Structure 1
Amino acid sequence: MKNYILPFADTYFKRFQTGKSLIKEKPAEDLFLSIVIPAYNEDELCKSLQSILDCQLPEKSVEILVILNSSESSPTEIILKNRETYQKAKQFAKNNSTKRLKFCILNIENLPIKFAGVGLARKTGMDEALRRFNSINKPDGLIAGFDADALPEKKYLREIEVYFNENQNINAVSINFEHPIEGNKFSKEIYRNIINYELHLRYFVEAMRFANFPFAYHTIGSSFVVKADIYAKQGGMNRKKAGEDFYFLQKIIPLGNYGEINTTKVIPSPRISDRVPFGTGAAISKMIKNNTDDFGTYHFNAFILLKAFFADLDTYFDNFTLIRIPEPMKNFLTINNFVSDLEKIKANSPNLLIFRKRFFDWFNAFRLIKFLNYAHETYYQKEKVKIASEKLLKKYHPEINIPETEKELLLLYREIQTRLSF
C-alpha cells in the first residue's frame, strides 16, 4: 500500500463539491471492494443483487452501493416505480446483508435536469465509495462499475480479489463480458442483434490492437474496477448522460498499469433501452427500428492505415513529412494542426520514450475515434461487421480457420480476447 498522510482523498473532497456522506454507518475495516450500481426505472435490480449475493465470497468485505435516481423532470410514474424498487431493494438488503457482504440502497430524487442521468448517478455512488475508503484510509480499495440489469459470474468477487492480490501495481482493469446470445428471455431478433453488436465491440478493440494502438481496451460500464486513490487523483467520474464509462476510463488507461481480468465475466443485458442515446440498449433499439440485424462497423482498411501510421512513429521524432502520409490521414492531420503540435511534442520530449508517450497523449482514443469518423465521412464506407471481422482475422490471426456464422465469429473473438490478454 502507498503511504499517505491521513486521510488520502481529502484533497478530492475539498476540490469537488460532492455533498455530505450518504451512508452513516462506518464501513468494515477490511473493506476491499465497493460495487456501484446506478438504477433508473429498473425492473430487475433485485435479480442483479441476488446474483451478487450468490457469488463465492472473497476473504475480505464487500459493499454494494445502489443509487436509484430521478430528476426534477422525471415522469411521476418513474418516480413512483423508483420508490417501489427502493422499498423492495431495502428489504432485500435488510434480509441479506452480512458483515462480509453489505447492500446499501439509496434513492435520490429531484436531481438537476442539466446533470441528471447515469453519469451523475454513477459519480454519486463512486464518490460515496471513495468517501468510505477514505474514512478507513484505504487508498488501494477497489471501486467497481456495474449495471442494474447485469449479472456476475459466481466467481466474480473472488477473481477480482485474487487478481489485485497478485498484481498490486495495477491501477484499474476491464473485466471480461459476454452478453447472452441465446435463450427464451428475449426474442430471436434481439439475440441476433446482440451478436452483431458485441461482435462490433470486439472487432473494434481487436482492430485497435492490430494497429498497435496502446489504449485498446473494452470500456463497458458494468465491467471495470479502479483503485480508490487513482479514482481521486484523476478527478473522479464525470456527469455525462451517456458514455460516462468510456470518458472516465480514457483518463485512467493512459496512466499505464491497466489490466484485464479474463478469469471471470459480467453478463450485461441485451434488452432494448431508451435511457441513453448510445450504448447496448440504444444500438439494439436502432437495429430493430431499422428492421436490420446488420451493424455497420469501421472499415478494416482504416485500421491498416492507422497501423502504418503508428509503425513509423519513431521516425517522426527526427523527421516528419506530411507529403508521404496517404489520405484520408493526411487531411485529418492537417485539419487537426498535427505538424505544429508535433513540433511542440518534440520540443518537450528529451528522449524517444517520452516522445512516444506525448504522441499518444495527442493521438489518444478520442482522437482515434475522431479520425475514424472523419475517414468514414470522407473516404471509407462502413462495412458489415461480419465482413470486417473476417478481414481482421485473416490479417491478424492467419492461423485460425474462419467460421461461417456471426455467432461462431463472436465466440471465436471471445476466445481470442480471453486467451490473449493485451
Structure 2
Amino acid sequence: MLKSDLSRIFVAIPLMNELDNIPILLDQLINQSLRPVIISFCINQPESWRKSPDKKEIILNNRKTLLYLNKVSASFPIPIIVLDHTSPGNGFHSNVGCVGLARKLCIDSFLSFTNSNDIIVNMDADTYYPDNYFENIIDIYNQLPLLSGVCAPYYHKIDNLPEDKARLMLRYEIFLHYYTLQLLLIKSPYAYMPIGSAMSFRVEAYKKASGFKVKDAGEDFYTMQQIRKIGIINSWLDNTIYPAARISDRVVFGTGPAISLNLKNQIKKYPFYPTYLFKKIESYYQILEHSKTTDDIIKNLKEIIPKEIILKIYKNHPQRDKFVHAIHEYFDAFHILKFLNNNYSVDINNDFEYFKNFYQELFKKDITYKNWQEISIDELNLIRDDLYNYELNLHRDKLNFLLMNKTDKKLWKYLKMF
C-alpha cells in the first residue's frame, strides 16, 4: 500500500430506490469545494425481491437509476464506478437489503487506487451535504495525522413528515443524542454515533480493521467499532449533514425502521436507558483506571467481564497500559449496549421520565409534560436542538484536547478515557 502525506477523498454510495435523489446528489458532488478522486455507486436489492409483487416498483426504480448513471458517467467531471447489483441474477442473496455489503463493494471497487492516508467517505443519496463537506473532512484528518475515523454531526430533516411521523423522528434523534451524551459524560472510548451517511475513515485504518462488517443489521455500528479499536474517532466538524427522514424497510436498524414503528414499539427498540446504568459503567471505568492490582480489577469488574476473560487478558497484556487498553477493547460498544440491555427491562411508562430527568439535570430546565404524546413538535424540536448543540460542544472540547495532545503516543495508541 502506497504512503502519501496528501490525503484524497474516495466516496462510497449505496443506492436503492433513489432515482429521484440522484440529480440532486450529483449536483452536491460537483459543487464540493474539494472534489473526490472517485465516486462508486452500488445499485442493489436482494435477488429474492423479484418474486415479490410489492417490490416491483423498487426494482424498476433501481433499473432506471442504473441506466441514468451509466449515461451520466460518460461525461461526468469526476470518475464514476457503477456497480450493478439490481439486474436479473445480480441481486444480493439475502432476504433484506444489505446496505453494508453495498458499501463494502463500493469501497472494494476503488481500494486498489488508494494510498494508506486517503479518506473513504460514506454517503447516502437522500442526505444533504454542505459544499465544503469534503474540504472540512480533509482538514480534520490533516490536523490530526493519527486520526482513524470521523462520525460527522447530523440533523434529520422533518419538514415533509406528517405530525405522527415527525414525533417519532424527533424522539428517535433525541434518543441518539441522549445515548451519545451519556457516553460522553462518562468519558467512554466509544462516545460517537455511527450513522452510515456521516462516516469516514482512513484507508489504513479501514484495512487494519479488516474492512466493512457485512451483517444482516448494524454494519455501521460494527465497522466503526473496529475503526475505533485502531485509533480515535472524531465527531466534530465545522458543518453538519442533514439525512432525510423517510419510512423504509431497506435496513433493520436506523431512521427508516425507527419511524415505521408506532411509539410503543419504538420505545421497546430504542429505550432511554436510565442514567444510573451509565453511571455504573463509569464506575467500572474508574476502577480500571485507578485500581492498584489486577486482583482489585478482577474483583470489581467481574459483573461485566467474566473472571477467566480478565485473567486471560492480563496474561497476554501484563503491562498496565496494554492491559487497560485490552479491557476497553473487550468491553466495547457492543458490550456496553449488551450490558444496558441485560440490566434494564424496558419500561414504556417510565421511558419519558428517564429522559426528562436527564434533560432537566443537564440543562436546569423544567419539563412539565408526562409523556411523549403531550409535547408539541415545535417543543420537541427545541429539545432536539438543545441536545444537538450540547453534544457538539462536548465533541468540540474533545477535538481541542486531541489537538493539544496530538503527539501523545499513549493517547493515540491506547483506548483510554479522555
What range is the shorter-chain TM-score in? Answer: 0.7 to 0.9
**Residue 16 of structure 2 aligns with which residue?**
40
368-377 vs 349-358, greater mean Cα deviation: 349-358
Alpha carbons 2:140, 2:237 under 8 Å: kept: no
Q: Name the counterpart of 1:21.
A: none
SS of 2:296's equivalent? coil
Match for 2:109: what amino acid?
Answer: E
Give a deviation string over 1:18-75, Cα, whole Å, max 9, x none.
xxxxxxxxxxxx88111111112334331452352364322x6442211101333122
Name the amino acid aligned to 2:308: S
| Alignment of 1:419 onto 2:396 | no
Matches within 5 A, 1:227-376: 227-287=202-262, 296-313=271-288, 314-315=290-291, 317-320=293-296, 330=303, 333=304, 338-376=306-344
- Render the CA deviation track for 1:338-381: whole Å, top value 9, x for unaligned: 1222222233333322221111122111111111111114xx73
Residues 277-323 of structure 1 show CA distances to partners (whole Å, capped at 9, x for unaligned) of 22111011012696999963212221122222222223274333888
Q: CA-to-partner distance for each residue in 1:228-272, whole Å, 9 max, x for gaps? A: 122122211122232111111110112223222321122111101
Give the AA of the match of 1:88.
Y
Could you tell me which amino acid in structure 2 is paired with residue 375 of structure 1?
A: N
Runs of at least 5 residues in structure 1 that lack an aligned partner in the other structure: 9-29
Cα root mean square deviation, aligned:
3.0
Query: Structure 2: any 5+ residue segments left out of the alignment?
Result: 369-378, 399-418
Kept after mapping to 2: 8 A contact 1:34/1:144: yes
Alignment match, 2:116:
139
More displaced 10-residue stretch of structure 1: 192-201 or 77-86: 77-86
1:2-401 matched pairs, under 5 angstroms: 32-53=8-29, 55-58=31-34, 61-75=36-50, 77=56, 78-94=58-74, 97-98=76-77, 101-109=78-86, 110-114=90-94, 117-133=98-114, 138-181=115-158, 183=159, 185-287=160-262, 296-313=271-288, 314-315=290-291, 317-320=293-296, 330=303, 333=304, 338-377=306-345, 381=347, 386-395=352-361, 397=362, 401=365
Give, in angstroms, the shift of residue 186 of structure 1.
2.2
The separation in 1 between residues aligned to 2:138 and 2:249, in whole angstroms, is 34
Q: Percent identity?
A: 25
CA deviation map 1:151-209 (0-9, x unaligned): 2122212211222222222121111111013x2x2222222211110010110011112
- Distance of aligned partners of 1:113 and 1:394 in 2 relative to their CA distance in 1, 3 Å threshold: same
User: Aligned-pair distance for 1:80?
Assistant: 2.8
Q: Cα 1:297–1:319, aligned 2, differ >3 Å: closer, same or farther? A: same
Normalised TM-score (structure 1):
0.79
- Check conservation: 1:200, 1:385, Cα contact below 8 A: no
CA distance in 1, matches of 2:249, 2:385: 28
Matched residue type, 1:388: Y
Structure 1 Cα separation of the partners of residues 171 and 272 of structure 2: 10
- SS of the aligned residue for 2:64 comes to helix
Residue identity opposite 1:371 in structure 2: F
Aligned to 1:65, what secondary structure does the other structure show?
strand
* CA–CA distance in structure 1, aligned partners of residues 270 and 322 of structure 2: 39
Which structure has more strand as a fraction of its residues?
A: 1
The answer to whether the Cα contact below 8 Å between 1:37 and 1:147 also exists between their aligned partners in 2 is yes
- TM-score, length-scaled by structure 2: 0.80
**Aligned 8 A contact 1:199 1:385 in 2:** no
Amino acid paired to 1:381: D
- Looking at structure 1, the residues matched to 189 and 7 of structure 2 have their Cα atoms a distance apart, in angstroms, of 33
Are 1:345 and 1:359, in contact at CA under 8 Å, matched by a contact in 2? yes
Q: CA separation in 2, counterparts of 1:288 and 1:393?
A: 20
Alpha-carbon separation, structure 1, partners of 2:226 and 2:297: 30
Q: Which has the higher helix share?
A: 2
1:22 aligns to what? none
Aligned partner letter, 1:126: I
> 2: distance between equivalents of 1:372 and 1:292?
14
Between the aligned partners of 1:244 and 1:294, the Cα distance in structure 2 is: 17
Q: Which moved more, 1:352-361 or 1:257-266?
A: 257-266
Helix, strand or coil at the partner of 2:84: strand
Paired positions, count: 374
